Structure 1
Amino acid sequence: MVRVPGDSDLQLWDRAADRYADQSGGPDDSFFRRMRPFLCETLGPVAGRRILDLGCGHGWLAEELRLDGARVLGVDGSVELLRHARASYPAVGFVAHDLCAGLPRPLSTFDAIVAHMVLMDVPELDALVADVRASLVDDGVFVFSILHPCFFAQAPLEADGERYRKVTGYLAHETRWITSFGGHHHYHRPLSWYVNLLGRHGLAVTALHEPPTLPAHVRPEPEWTAYERWFATIPTMLAVACRPMANDGPSRGPRFRT
């Protein structure tokens, strides 16, 4: 896909939907294999619980949760991705809604909200995170994964017999063009920005997961190449669990002055 000036994110995802649904996602996907242990530990048993799959795409994770007994709703802004989701997983309810505007009205209540590899591709997150907090029960949990802000975009290099990733920039916010699946926008923000965003909306980080980077295809570790073993030592994604703060009212302001 050639980037056309003025293309919106949803237009890009609608155009990429067929390729994305064919090539990405599923329980054997490298990103989800890294996410699954953390997600299972964080959610615990899901049978009978109300779960929102936020940015559900073509619906495979929503179906995984449904098969485990959860009552699942999937929401995504791409009508073309949801066309795939509804055709493949008719037992799951799916709703089309632009995530930049938050969650669909009226807001529903959920025991858990999951966003797997979504937030870094959404240009505006304030309204969405505010609605996530408003939709969670008091003892609920929000679990999300993103590409690692520090390491994902840094190309692997080799010099003087050593391999490394050369970090040339991190703090500045950037809009990047990702060519995968035909092309889409990626919104780089440092990790501190995400943590502060969550805090502003009454969500406290309770766990952070930086898993080793796994080969694209499932193989026992003894079969990995030397390059794959090195590559695993630098995380290219991370996952975060956060829960509603006990008292998420307005801040009383700083105690100290500088």
Structure 2
Amino acid sequence: MNRDWNPSLYQSSHSFVWEYGRDLLGLLAPLAGERILDVGCGTGQLTAEIARAGAEVLGIDHSVSMITQARRNFPDQRFEVQDVCAMPFRTEFDAVFSNAALHWVERADDAAAAMARALKPGGRLVVEFGGRGNTRALLEALRLALKARHGAEPQRVNPWFFPSVGEYASLLERHGLEVTFATLFDRPTALEGGGEGLANWFAMFGASLTEELRQPEFVRLVEQAAAPSLLRDGVWWADYRRLRVAARKEG
């Protein structure tokens, strides 16, 4: 999936991404001296939080612009531009952590295999990302706007990987990871920016869905379709559903 990330917009209007991710750190429970890999680290906020526990952390992200900003934010931390599916690591990490990133990875099986390879025997995986039904109302509004503009059903609206608990647990188990905890839960999230919240969300996360989302008049069409379910008292909400999973590498 083609992504053109804007680190400034991410940090100014989408801090909820890592703010909610702090809750996931309790499941990770990093220890001093551990080597931990943060997959899809973005601009580095959670990488730095893990490091404060005394762990040695490497943050990786596919986006050059995000890694550049992470290095500016936390110059004492280690960050690298890497594709999770092509990571070279072999039995190097005590834990692999990922927040709000893996739904962007179309090659989910390759990503799971690479994360499993990176772990030491007995190492743990702790991840959270979009699960089955994530942003259903938001994507339905996009579908309706595309249909209204073109007079026909769009071919594809959702390019993301939003698996069920069973689907993702089975995928991890195929790569020697024993699932110890898994849950799918709703997390309605207020979008920053008031009346511009939905437009900002599409600017950050949805520009790769269709070029038409770069056109303000089309965004207004989407807003009209989304307003009955996602606009409350002048605040836009994203109907997030998150999949949270912990697993341990066999051996």
- Secondary structure of 1:19 counterpart: helix
Distance 2:130 2:84 in 1: 18
Q: Which has the higher helix share?
A: 2
Do the aligned partners of residues 55 and 35 (structure 1) sit closer, same or farther apart at CA in structure 2, a change above 3 Å counting? closer
Aligned residues: 194
1:146 maps to what in 2? Answer: 129
TM-score normalised by the chain length of structure 2: 0.66
Matching residue of 1:198:
172
Does residue 245 (structure 1) correspond to residue 246 (structure 2)? The answer is no
Q: Could you tell me how far apart the structure 2 residues matched to 1:196 and 1:149 are?
A: 15
Is 1:71 equivalent to 2:61 in the alignment? no
Aligned to 2:82: 97
CA distance in structure 1 between the partners assigned to 2:10 and 2:18 by the alignment: 15
Residue 99 of structure 1: how far off its partner (Å): 2.4
Q: 2:25 aligns with which of 39, 48, 57?
A: 39
Instruction: State the percentage of identical aligned residues.
Output: 29
TM-score under structure 1 normalisation?
0.64
Aligned: 1:60 with 2:50: no
* Aligned mates of 1:176, 1:188 — CA distance in 2: 13
Cα pair distance change 1:38/1:89, threshold 3 Å: closer
> Could you tell me how far apart the structure 1 residues matched to 2:134 and 2:120 are?
34
The offset of 1:39, in angstroms, is 3.1
Contact map agreement 1:203 1:245 (CA 8 A) in 2: yes
| Correspondence for 1:48 | 33
How many angstroms does 1:123 deviate by? 1.1
Task: Please report the RMSD computed on the Cα atoms of aligned residues, expressed in angstroms.
Answer: 3.2
How far is 1:23 from its partner? Answer: 2.4
**Tell me, what secondary structure is at the counterpart of 1:48?**
coil
CA contact (8 A) 2:92 2:120 kept: yes
Deviations 1:184-232 (A, max 9, x none): x523344433122111111121112445536549xxxxxxxxx89xxxx
Alpha-carbon shift at residue 238 of structure 1 (Å): 2.5
Q: Unpaired segments of 5 or more residues in structure 2?
A: 139-154, 192-231, 234-238
AA paired with 1:94? F
Which amino acid in 2 is paired with 1:196? S
